Amino acid sequence: MRRKTGTLKPAVTTGAAIAAALVASLLSAAARAQDLQENSSALRPYTVAGKTIPQSLTGVPGDAASGRSIAMNRDTGDCVLCHALPDAGAGSVHGSVGPPLAGVGARLSAAELRMRLVDPTRVNPDSVMPAYYRIQQLTQVANAYRGKPVLNAQQVEDVIAYLQGLR
């Protein structure tokens, strides 16, 4: 792309491109959160124990099929933006920023997965993974979407059910 001065615009670095994709995904997901959360200003309470959230956010078992849909869908969870998923389908495009999720259900408990979805920075302060169920102390969130989680409590539990099945 040429600038008006006739010089070439420098190429975006890989790190900058990844960061831009993550920000775009977060903004898009935050926009969808408004429709997904009936009472978006109030999160269900949960207790953190170490690097886990031991209890379900809803008390209702997650639906693995719904969780898979959320994880694969670029309009909801968009896990495939950063992670390789074993059942994404032949020829599907997936990210490599985060670890592959094949076998994650054998490596991590539901409580550990819940923490990683709710607030990954409690596990790794340098994580670039979005906090799907945290609304406080976030940066780079448009004012219109502040106070709204990316996923509602049941969607978090659905994704956990799906990930637990990846053994």
Strand partners, 52: 49
What is the spatial distance between Cα 47 and Cα 52, in angstroms, rounded to a whole number?
Answer: 9
**What is the 3-state secondary structure of 77-115?**
CCHHHCCCCCCCCCCCCCCCCCCCCCCHHHHCCHHHHHH
Q: Minimal CA–CA distance to 158: which of 48, 65, 55, 36?
A: 65
Please write the tens of the pLDDT for every residue from 41-88. 478 999 999 999 999 999 999 999 999 999 998 888 888 889 988 887
Sequence length of the chain is 167
What pLDDT is recorded for position 101?
A: 93
If DSSP codes are grouped into helix, strand and coil, which group holds residue 1?
Answer: coil
In terms of pLDDT, which residue wins out, 52 or 14? Answer: 52
What is the spatial distance between Cα 63 and Cα 56, in angstroms, rounded to a whole number?
Answer: 13
Q: 64 CB contacts (<8 Å, ≥6 apart)?
A: 158, 161, 162, 164, 165
Please write the tens of the pLDDT for every residue from 115-128. 999 999 999 999 98
Burial of 45 (0-12, 13-18, 19+ CB in 10 A): exposed
Say which CATH architecture domain 14-164 belongs to: Orthogonal Bundle (1.10)
pTM: 0.72
Q: 96 CB contacts (<8 Å, ≥6 apart)?
A: 82, 84
H helical segments located in the chain = 14-36, 64-72, 104-107, 110-118, 153-164
pLDDT > 90: percent of the chain: 45
